[in-house]
Chain A
Amino acid sequence: MSALVCRVVAFFCLLRASAAVFEDQVGKFDWRQQFVGNVRFAAFDAHSQASKKLLVATEKNIFASVNSRTGELFWRHVDKTGQDGQIDAMLVHGQDAVLVVGNGRLLRSWETNIGGLNWEVVMDTGSFQTAQLIGLADIVKFVAVLKKSAISLHYLSNGHQKWVENLPDSDTVQYQTVYSSGNGDVFVLGLVPHSHIVVVAYNIEDGEIMKQVSVEAPWITSLDSSCAVVGSAVLLCVDPVSSSLYTLQLNAEGRAEFVHIPLQSLDLEAEAGFHPVVIATQPHPARVPLKEFFLQLGPERFILLQLKDGAIAPLRDFNPANLVAFATTGEKTVAAVMSPKNETACSINLFSADTGRRLLDTTVTYNLDPNGGKLNRLFVLAFLKKDDSVGYRALVQTEDFALTFLQQPGRVVWVREEALADVVTMEMVDLPLTGTQAELEGEFGKKADGLLAMVLKRLSSQLILLQAWIGHLWKLFYDARKPRSHVKNEVTIETLARDEFNLQKMMVMVTASGKLFGIDSKSGTILWKHYLQNVQPNAAFKLMVQRTTAHFPHPPQCTLLIKDKDTGLGSLHVFNPIFGKKSHIALPTLPRPIQQSLLLPIMDQDYTKVLMLIDDQYKVTAFPSTKNVLQQLQEMASSIFFYLVDSSQGTLSGFRLRKDLSTELMWEVVIPAEVQKITLVKGKRANEHVHSQGRVMGDRSVLYKYLNPNLLAVVTESTDTHPERSFIGVFLIDGVTGRIIHEAVQRKARGPVHLVHSENWVVYEYWNTKSRRNEFSVLEQYEGTELYNSSVFSSLDRPHPPQVLQQSYIFPSPINTLEATLTEKGITSRHLLVGLPSGAILSLPKMFLDPRRPEVVSEQSREENLIPYAPEMPIRTEWFINYNQTVSRVKGIYTAPSGLESTCLVVAYGLDIYQTRVFPSKQFDVLKDDYDYMLISSVLLGLFFATMISKRLAEVKLLNRAWR
């Protein structure tokens, strides 16, 4: 009987907790953007004229097809992260794209139309060098893969290996290049630096070595960028030291030797300190490469040269030019050259490759983004127009990982911001009030100038408000008549304004490449972007909101702390989060490496929160450091504490600020680094509100929560990873006094540990090595049935340790990230948001992670609405808040409160970005979407009229009766 009751109770609890959206709510308040990461290889699918596919392989180990008309993804294949999934080479021929993956471990062929896998071959181990398509008699049939000590030839149609041959003297010779012109030979070129070049010719049919020559070349250092095969099997190399070109006939009979051509003889000279680069092209793998090639002599200087009968002739000198690229369509090959036009624009022109003449009407103007990075690469898709002239589209890749697709005559078709594939940290900032609202607010800030003037001003501003409201109503009415798809709300930076419930916010995203984005949370439109030059790739970022939008005449202010990992020096970037503009505030000089930063709730006169920067000598720099701030800091110094955790030393240390802005060490906890390593330290979020100070028990007494705002949850992992001996440790430490409130060691457990610390609970997830499963554990702290001090909380005056309760559960999936929902006042029940490796985001009610869940149901626990304990935690598909909009490689989840107590804004980021709203306790403060306004208003109106009519009837009847 009791089991049945339990089940019924559990069922109702589950029923209540479901968080899925209805079908018609799809896309209403959520959006997803998919990214691929920084492009490493790109190729246009040019096998048919109507094709609009762009194939890209990226540094994030993703192979994808992009619609070149819209910039959207056709399909995308996400491989493993790290070395295992790294794409080493991409070769496109016809409808097939051949990828070499994982340092030459796998060879895969993809069908480019639908993205299906044609075949996959596992190759022998060996460090990958290069891969090349090999043709025979004008047909591309094979793909050659060159490794450090072997070369193998595979059929393009099925991946079967045709032959594999060891390379001669592979321990001394570095083989780097494969060349074939489709006549039955495969040349493998290797070198011994500063000594000689080795040319090995293989027979394409059986892999027999046809010829092996060694050519003296004491100047050679590398084949990759300084050498290329040009024309009919002529190896052309450039030597920066002697500033000359060398040519070598690869298939010459007898003794081969380099021909020396000094650059001076061509009236050319390499710029000092620049390593010249040879850029050649082989339009078809089964034919000889082009006779013409580019020689880059300086960062902005390219020469188009032609090799004719062993002699080199310059065709055209491009000075200045940023980027060059060859493109082939049909039989024609053109050279696209991008050259700077003025400070803010570049122009791309096409030149005939064989003559160097400029083609008419091929200029495309490309406006450089002042907030973007420098130009990086150019990809050109050429096509023949109806009148047989050459048209083209160009893809420009910039340093900030942005891809811009251009069309003649200079129209930007689309831009993909691939930096967003690697978001490091983010914040959500309230939007500013509209101009009219701001004017009304501004009244209070100004000085009074007479009663009458004030009244008139108030009246006029309220008139403006009324006007705006009527305009809004009219727009609503007007839009309501149009079909929903036609209503397009174009969001621009000018029309940004806070909505009624503050549901629309500005997402400020910091990416690993150093590019900052301002994204509208409602539509996902990028409203501003700013590229920070000179940011190291491994820099650490910390984003803080120093001033919110609430202090009207003062603009909001965000500060990004960037710490260079190599030098340890920190720098600040202060900007307006709404417009992305860098603010011109005097920044503090930071001569010493920065250890940590701390945002204090102390405000300057202009409502800027004070940022404290702690350097490696534990000296503090305040920003802003006005007189007012310094005075306040002096007054409050004795109550300002901070802690630093050094994971490599295994120390946690707490400091207190002195009046002269130096610090004193208060406490230190040492966790021996050789046994266990501190992996995670989490405090509570500063903007978290807890509405209820306790929990109501079944007997209607109160169990008060231990709400220590200074509490830290510290996780350590054992350095010994043996499944029998590994353990994780969880410590709850008071950050002010260093007192260890609770300490737990979980044996036979292993990280990575994901942890959420909020209110009076800590939830963490780990891998149980004994049972080989993922487990959730929850720790809750209570003060007991009596409050020690209900008015103030001071860590220095807490004689009683809290009661700590713990319970663990089995979770059926590994997780990527963990976060808790957050609402304005903290009345709404909490949910945990779990990012799963499958890309789903699970909204797990905190109710399930409650250490008070009873094993045996009693009257009191039922009164308390506690779910009976069950070791297994369910994953219900209706708890996935992102239904089928999976977020690949989810790395972090950000939650922010909205103006509605029921609603929490959620952004999940990783490879993709997904934004939605969650309602942990359902939408108790707004009417439902499907609320029947018509019915209710018609019933109300009907009742009103019925009342009027019956009143009239009653009057008539009374009058009649009175006449009787």
Chain B
Amino acid sequence: MSSPGGQGGGALSTRGAGGARRMKWALELSLSNTRSRGDRQGGQGDTMYPIGYSDKPVPDTSVQETDRNLVEKRCWDVALGPLKQIPMNLFIMYMSGNTISIFPIMMVCMMAWRPIQALMSLSATFKLLESSSQQWLQGLVYLVGNLLGSALAIYKCQSMGLLPTHSSDWLAFIEPPQRMEIMGGGMVL
């Protein structure tokens, strides 16, 4: 953080509450004084600066109307982001294998979670793309990319056997059948 230079050489400051009490007063001869004091003096506002002076630089907010291509390009970047991740995901999928252990599970979770998160914040992304002329196309591409990502995650779950698609996955829910006949007996006593 940039600190103002503080007072000129030989400035004398009396100190209020807080800070080191043992010093009643201090004389600073150098410009590069301790940070703590500089902060506080900066916060209190200093009479040494002229009126209207700000120590933060003012951002340049003016829109370059002329460079629309740049905006388009930026919007396409956003829209194609999910699609670009797919080859990477495929590679990770291939590398992590189909065994159920902590790392593949973490990967799958991440792969599944990212598109879902993106889909949930779809309106925010649309707002981002508002400035573009091909807004609807870009939105569609973005959506399709994310859907493809989640399909990939589901495929991965399927190949890992995490989806309840087999009859054995529903075995625990089968109730024992009710018996229609009462039967008993045995050897003649």
Contact = CB atoms under 8 A, between A and B. Distances in A.
A596 B182 contact: no
Contacts of A640: 181-183
B180 A794 contact: yes
Interface string B155-174: 00000010000111101101
A794 B181 contact: yes
A650 interface: no
B187 interface: yes
A735 B185 contact: yes
A639 B171 CA distance: 29
B39 interface: yes
Nearest to B172: A692
B186 A645 contact: yes
Contacts of B167: 701-702, 785
B186 A681 contact: yes
B52 interface: no
Contacts of A707: 176-177
B179 interface: yes
Given A689-B176, A700-B166, A790-B174, A736 B184 contact: no
Given A683-B185, A794-B181, 9 more contacts: A597-B189, A600-B182, A642-B184, A694-B171, A694-B174, A710-B183, A790-B175, A796-B180, A964-B36
A646 interface: yes
A692 B174 CA distance: 8
Contacts of B189: 540, 542, 561, 563, 570, 594-597
Contact of A791 (B166, B178, B184): B178
A601 B182 contact: yes
Contact of B183 (A594, A643, A790): A643
Interface string A582-609: 0000000000001111111110000000
A312 B166 CA distance: 99
Contact of A796 (B39, B181, B186): B181
A33 interface: no
A811 interface: no
Nearest to A964: B39
A795 B180 CA distance: 8
25 contacts: A542-B189, A596-B189, A598-B185, A636-B182, A639-B180, A641-B181, A646-B188, A683-B184, A683-B186, A690-B176, A692-B171, A692-B172, A694-B168, A694-B171, A696-B171, A700-B169, A702-B167, A702-B168, A710-B179, A710-B181, A736-B183, A791-B177, A794-B181, A964-B36, A964-B39
A709 interface: yes
A791 B185 CA distance: 25
A903 B54 CA distance: 77
Contacts of A570: 189
A699 B176 CA distance: 23
Nearest to A639: B181
Given A692-B172, A693-B176, A964-B39, A700 B161 contact: yes
Given A644-B188, A645-B188, A694-B174, A792 B179 contact: yes
Contacts of B176: 689-690, 693, 707
Interface residues of B, dominant DSSP: mixed
Interface of A: 540, 542, 561, 563, 570, 594-602, 612, 614, 636, 639-647, 678, 681, 683, 689-694, 696-697, 700-702, 707, 709-710, 735-736, 785, 787, 789-796, 963-964
B15 to A, nearest CB: 14
A963 B36 CA distance: 11
Contacts of B172: 691-692
B178 A702 contact: no
Given A641-B182, A644-B188, A701 B40 contact: no
A563 B188 CA distance: 11
B173 to A, nearest CB: 10
Contacts of B185: 596, 598, 614, 642-645, 683, 735
Contact of A702 (B18, B171, B175): B171
A921 B29 CA distance: 81
A645 B187 CA distance: 4
Among B168, B175, B184, max chain A CB count under 10 A is at B184
A602 B182 CA distance: 10
B171 A647 contact: no
Contacts of B186: 596, 643-645, 681, 683
A678 B187 CA distance: 9
A787 B39 CA distance: 80
Contacts of A691: 172
Contacts of B177: 707, 789-793
Nearest to B169: A700
Interface string B12-35: 000000100000000000000000
A887 B88 CA distance: 67
Contacts of B40: 964
Nearest to B184: A598
Nearest to A826: B176
A599 to B, nearest CB: 7
A174 to B, nearest CB: 40
Given A694-B174, A700-B168, A709 B188 contact: no
B19 to A, nearest CB: 10
A963 B188 contact: no
A84 B177 CA distance: 52
Nearest to B168: A696
A524 to B, nearest CB: 30
Among B176, B183, B187, max chain A CB count under 10 A is at B183
Nearest to B17: A963
Contacts of B188: 595-596, 644-647
B141 to A, nearest CB: 37
Given A689-B176, A694-B174, A792-B179, A647 B166 contact: no
Contact of A793 (B39, B180, B184): B180
Contacts of A644: 185-188
A542 B186 CA distance: 11
A599 B185 CA distance: 9
Interface string B66-81: 0000000000000000
B166 A701 contact: yes
Contacts of B174: 693-694, 787, 790
Contacts of A964: 36, 39-40
Nearest to B166: A700
A749 B36 CA distance: 99
Q: Which 6 A-B pairs have the closest CB atoms?
A: A598-B184, A794-B180, A642-B185, A643-B185, A700-B166, A696-B168
A792 B178 contact: yes
Nearest to B170: A702
Given A596-B189, A793-B178, A964-B40, A693 B183 contact: no
B178 to A, nearest CB: 5
A602 B183 CA distance: 12
A735 B181 CA distance: 10
Contacts of B168: 694, 696-697, 700-702
A752 to B, nearest CB: 15
Contacts of A789: 177
B138 to A, nearest CB: 42
A170 B169 CA distance: 83
A961 to B, nearest CB: 11
Nearest to A600: B182
B179 to A, nearest CB: 5
A668 to B, nearest CB: 13
B187 A963 contact: no
Contacts of A735: 183, 185
A697 B180 CA distance: 29
